[in-house]
Structure 1
């Protein structure tokens, strides 16, 4: 029997990290989240450069080492915006491709950023819907790193990279890494926004996951997206202060981090 879900975790080159100790600590928490799946028919592949110091991993995890150079456009400063995004998509996408080629025998793939969290019920849900095309996580949580508050985001799949579960054959993986084109890597593997539309146009649309499937960690020093602090993003900014109805709507989307939430998403860390 095929593995139901393989989680692919691409890790940036160590030279592109300003604080590797923080990255490693966050990755440790992401690992704990994945490992808490209630259905154990899963595997996870961490793709990282040779020499990168990684945390110890539990059963179910494998590490694939690569020799890709650092992304010279990792920071946007001084770089053309589209060139910056393309460089990011190529760097992330080829790491994802290495991981997927390492684990072809799976029903579904889910790409997980190395600082995010997933629901412990994902694999069980997939096991009950094994013939589906896959799902977008349209509703998920935003979590301010280390805080006690959560925000329900209703357009999560367009906001966070940890938001797609896709049937493996729909990726049409190449026979080898070398035969993959840059365009394939950028659009199918390096961009979480583009692939949903591509699949829909080909007649294989993704459904909406019927529960909040992931947590996007924001506001920490190592975040590549330069995400702002949680409170500033959703409450303490001029745009919202001048629009009380939007501020009130955001208040309705607040939740607290409690024990049940930690067990479901954090692996009870």
Structure 2
């Protein structure tokens, strides 16, 4: 039994604009997770049978699934609401498959396959095994076209890789087939809705007391189609009309230091999938 299991759902290859780049990102995410200072963790990548995955670090396993491609993946083609609902179902069922393969885990963290996490998470969870869980309130935003990042407040409001939740609170079904679509979408496919569900049930998540992750923005494989670091944090129209928020982003601008690279990127800042001059996805 691990006290913290990281679940990394990987979309169907047909839903990826650039599968080769997706694999580079997945490898970098897995490297970040595997750098945990405390060894009591495991990682599960959930991917379609036949997917050409990169080599994964020790501590990871793959849960193979046979789900068909998401038919409403494109926001441009199907509209925001339809695409987001379909996304929640597709992501949620992959997460469920991974969790059922590790249902005895103390806590779970769902990590998107292009984000990064602090290497202190496993040790922190081990020291707080009875806690319902946490949400990452502060972290960083980053794109590969720059060696700068922005320290973010309200991190969990935008990044899906932001919740750590005690396993029993998910009330996992005995079998995959026993889970309803509503359960899959609201509990596992949405990082926003489950916070409200748990609060209403008397198990509120609390802020993680340190910077917990790095949110990769501005790449062409992103479902949210976020802009680059500069577009997202400084040229975004919603910030231009909110000078206080824009100023907060400016104050949050940081050089991507070696310490940050060691904590969040697995101690390999020069790796190809993380190099600042690599092609964006």
Taking structure 1 as the reference length, what is the TM-score of the superposition?
0.96
Quick one: structure 1 residues 112 and 245, their matched pair in 2 at CA, closer, same or farther if it must change by over 3 Å?
closer
What is the alpha-carbon distance in structure 1 between the residues aligned to residue 239 and residue 159 of structure 2?
Answer: 22
Give the whole-Å Cα distance in 1 for the aligned partners of 2:237 and 2:81: 28
Cα distance change of structure 1 residues 253 and 18 upon mapping to structure 2, 3 Å threshold? same
* Long gaps (5+) in structure 1: none
* Partner residue, 1:65: 64
5 Å-filtered alignment, 1:42-57, equals 42-57=41-56
Map of 1:77-88 to 2, 5 A cutoff? Answer: 77-88=76-87
Matches within 5 A, 1:115-154: 115-154=114-153
TM-score normalised by the chain length of structure 2: 0.92
Q: Which moved more, 1:144-153 or 1:239-248?
A: 239-248
Gaps of 5+ in 2: 269-281
Deviations 1:133-186 (A, max 9, x none): 000001111112242111111111110000000000000000000010000000
| Equivalent residue, structure 2, for 1:25 | 24
Hey, what does 1:37 align to over in structure 2? 36
Q: Mean Cα displacement is larger for which, 174-183 or 78-87? A: 78-87
2:217 corresponds in structure 1 to: 218
Offset, 1:232:
1.4
Q: CA deviation at 1:225?
A: 1.2
Identify if the C-alpha distance between structure 1 residues 82 and 148 changes in structure 2 by more than 3 Å, giving closer, same or farther.
same
Q: Distance in 2 between matches of 1:203 and 1:244?
A: 37
Q: Deviations over 1:92-121 (max 9, x none)?
A: 000000000001121000000000000000
**Residue deviations 1:45-87 (CA, integer Å, cap 9, x gap):** 0000011110111211000111100001110123243222111
Cα RMSD for the two superposed structures: 1.3
1:101 corresponds to? 100
- Judge conservation of contact 2:233–2:249 (CA < 8 Å) in 1: yes
The DSSP-based 3-state class of the residue aligned with 2:123 is helix
Shift in CA distance, 171/237, structure 1 to aligned 2, threshold 3 Å: closer
- In structure 2, the partner of 1:228 is 227
Structure 1 residue aligned with 2:74: 75
Deviates more, 1:247-256 or 1:191-200: 247-256
Q: Which residue of 2 aligns with 1:262?
A: 261
1:238–1:176: structure 2 CA closer, same or farther, 3 Å change rule? closer
- SS of aligned partner of 2:108: strand
Q: Which deviates more from structure 2 when the two are superposed, residues 244-253 or residues 179-188?
A: 244-253
Q: For the residues of structure 2 that align with 1:100 and 1:239, how far apart are their CA atoms?
A: 37
SS of 1:64 mapped into structure 2:
strand
Rounded Cα–Cα distance in structure 2 between residues aligned with 1:152 and 1:217: 12
Instruction: Give the number of equivalent residue pairs.
Output: 268
Cα 1:136/1:244, change in 2 over 3 Å: closer
Residue of structure 2 equivalent to 1:203: 202
Separation of aligned partners in 1, 2:14 and 2:94? 15
